[in-house]
Amino acid sequence: MSRKALIAANWKMYKTPAEAKAFVDAFLPLVAGHDRDDIALFPSVTSLATVVEAVKGSKVAAGLQNMHFAEEGAYTGETSAVMLKAVGATHTLIGHSERRQYFNETDEVVNKKLHTALKHGIVPVVCIGELLHDREAGLTADVLVRQLKGALAGVTAEAAHSLVIAYEPCWAIGTGKTATPKMAVEAHAIVRAELANLLGAEVAKATRILYGGSVKPENAKDLCCEEEIDGALVGGASLKPDSFAAIVKY
């Protein structure tokens, strides 16, 4: 079964609505007619509606970088699944390593968010990845399996059909240090084997596993050409239309 790759831009805490609109206006002509991959933009919450509006009529999707697990409630500063959908967004990142590191997001929280996203028909991009000291201690597989087990607790194969996993080794995020294609392929194979264990072989085969961590125009092709790598989650190099378009069209 062939998986259509997804190339996704994680803009983190960058871009005002006006800057987001200028990006989309410049970016869409650069990827017009590009059908090989799915493309998604993850702006900040204040730019989401602007981006949804600006990508209308194109094949580019828009999503949030984070979403709360509750339907609604007294959660100051948070955004719900219903709010995300009400502005016309379709995707959300869940459990990005910066959420885990700076906002105490645990595997349990990631799990709750995943259940909520799936319930609301939102495409979840669940981020996992080891710290440098995990890798140096030979614990990469243990960490990935633990994070996957935690994220997917109680998720059925039927519910998981839209699931996307992003493997992002923490030591490669924003550091300029990219995992080699060999390292990424090894990690993706671990992830796919655990997906088979948790959700069955069919879902594991169909699930897209993206690589993230210092992806740029110069290394996108080497990474994305690997059969095990089904696209990329791009931070820094997704902030400029020409740079992100070059990654999409590697």
Indicate the DSSP class of residue 120. Answer: T
User: In 10 A of CB 57, how many CB atoms?
Assistant: 7
Q: Do 236 and 32 meet the contact criterion of CB atoms below 8 Å apart?
A: no
Q: Does 233 bind ligand PGA (CB under 6 A)?
A: yes
Our finding on whether 43 is near ligand PGA (CB under 6 A) is no
3-state secondary structure at position 9 = strand
Helix (H, G, I), strand (E, B) or coil at 241: helix
Does residue 88 contact residue 52 with C-beta atoms inside 8 Å?
yes
Size of the site for ligand PGA (CB under 6 A): 13
The answer to whether 168 contacts ligand PGA (rule: CB under 6 A) is yes
CB of 10 to ligand PGA, least distance (A): 4
Interaction of residue 109 with ligand PGA, rule CB under 6 A: no
Q: Does 40 bind ligand PGA (CB under 6 A)?
A: no
**Shortest CB 236 distance to ligand PGA, Å:** 4
Positions in 173-232 near ligand PGA (CB under 6 A): 173-174, 212-215
Three-state DSSP state, 14: coil
Give the residue nearest to ligand PGA (CB).
Answer: 235
Min dist CB 108 to ligand PGA, Å, is 22
Cβ atoms of 173 and 130 within 8 Å: the answer is no
Burial class (CB within 10 angstroms; exposed 0-12, middle 13-18, buried 19+) of 51: buried
Our CB check for ligand PGA shows the closer of 99 and 203 to be 99
Distance CA 247, CA 9 (A): 10
Which is closer to ligand PGA, CB of 20 or CB of 237? 237
10 binds ligand PGA (CB under 6 A): yes
Count the neighbouring beta carbons within 10 Å of the beta carbon of residue 186: 15
Q: Does 236 bind ligand PGA (CB under 6 A)?
A: yes
Question: Active-site positions?
Answer: 96, 168
Binding site for ligand PGA (CB under 6 A): 10, 168, 173-174, 212-215, 233-237
